[in-house]
Amino acid sequence: MRVLHFSSVTSTQDIARMILKENTVIVADEQRKGRGRRGRKWISPFGGLWFSMVLRFTTPLISLWAAVAVSMAFEELGYEVKIKWPNDLIYYGKKLGGIVAEHVGDLVILGIGINLKNPIPEEIKDVATGIPEVERDELLHLILSNVVKMDEYNILAEWRKRNITLGKRVCLSSGECGFARDIAEDGALIMMTEKGEIRIYAEDIIQRVD
Ligand code: BTN
């Protein structure tokens, strides 16, 4: 992986899209226009880890694997970071980071944002958190060395070990609720609802009602 470092960008996703070279990583100290999943904005001031990776899209599980790679990296540093389906990174019940995937031909740009020393805005403090003790570059290095080991692992098995979604009653942003039964071979969430079994691809789980 070739890592290119920038001080301030609109979004590392934009730079990755311009360069569009397989196995390139774009990391920035701050993003002025960071974006999250589903068109949301991603606040990314100095102090966090904000980066994008250009990878060949070899499996629909690639963004789940990225979440596993992050969780493993934190484990190596002594922190237990869990995954909420599909690839939200959770620390003590709050969102530590997230992953967005943008497809360009047979490449995928995986954007990963992790709160470290950056301030968390007051209005999201009850749902978001950071780990200020972790050094950005050390974490990035550990994540990248895990990302490239994808073929050595059973992605779904590793994801299942680290997830906090399966086995819970969950509600989607559409309002539909059900029981999160398993994850399918293509990464879909298999939910049991009153209407029967459904597979979810891009919905957000907004609530867990244990
Ligand atoms: C989410 O909504 O949970 C995904 C957030 C992804 C944020 C990262 S930060 C680096 C990369 N550049 C962006 O603009 N977004 C991603």
Among protein residues, the one whose CA lies closest to atom 15 of ligand 1: 35
Those residues whose C-beta lies under 8 Å from the C-beta of residue 62, and which sit 6 or more positions away, are 55, 101, 108, 110, 150
Residue 182 and residue 150 share a domain: no
Q: Is 146 helix (H, G, I), strand (E, B) or coil?
A: helix
Q: Side-chain half-sphere of 105: how many Cα atoms within 13 Å? A: 8
Report pLDDT digits (tens) over 135-158: 999 999 999 999 999 999 999 999
Closest listed residue to residue 49, CA positions, set 112, 106, 98: 112
Domain count, the chain: 2
pTM to 2 decimals? 0.96
Residue 158 and residue 126 share a domain: yes
In ligand 1, the atom with minimum distance to the C-alpha of 99 is 4
Those residues whose C-beta lies under 8 Å from the C-beta of residue 151, and which sit 6 or more positions away, are none
Residue 191 and residue 154 share a domain: no
**Mean of pLDDT over the chain:** 95
Confidence of residue 208 (pLDDT cuts 50, 70, 90): low
Those residues whose C-beta lies under 8 Å from the C-beta of residue 110, and which sit 6 or more positions away, are 52, 53, 55, 62, 63, 66, 99, 100, 101
Ligand 1: residue of 27, 44, 85, 87 to mutate (most ligand atoms within 8 A of CB) is 44
Residue 176 and residue 156 share a domain: no
Report pLDDT digits (tens) over 81-130: 999 999 999 999 999 999 999 999 999 999 999 999 999 999 999 999 99
Q: Which domain holds residue 43?
A: 2-162
In ligand 1, the atom with minimum distance to the C-alpha of 48 is 9
Q: Considering the domain boundaries, does residue 206 fall inside one? A: no
Among protein residues, the one whose CA lies closest to atom 9 of ligand 1: 113
How far apart are the C-alpha atoms of 116 and 159, rounded to whole Å?
Answer: 23
pLDDT at residue 82, rounded to an integer: 98
What CATH number has the domain bearing residue 154?
3.30.930.10
CA of 41 to the centre of ligand 1 (A): 8
Tokens for 135, please give them.
């050094």
Q: Considering the domain boundaries, does residue 205 fall inside one? A: no
**pLDDT of 210 above 90:** no
Q: Is the CB of 143 under 6 A from ligand 1?
A: no
Residue 186 and residue 109 share a domain: no
Residue 129 and residue 108 share a domain: yes
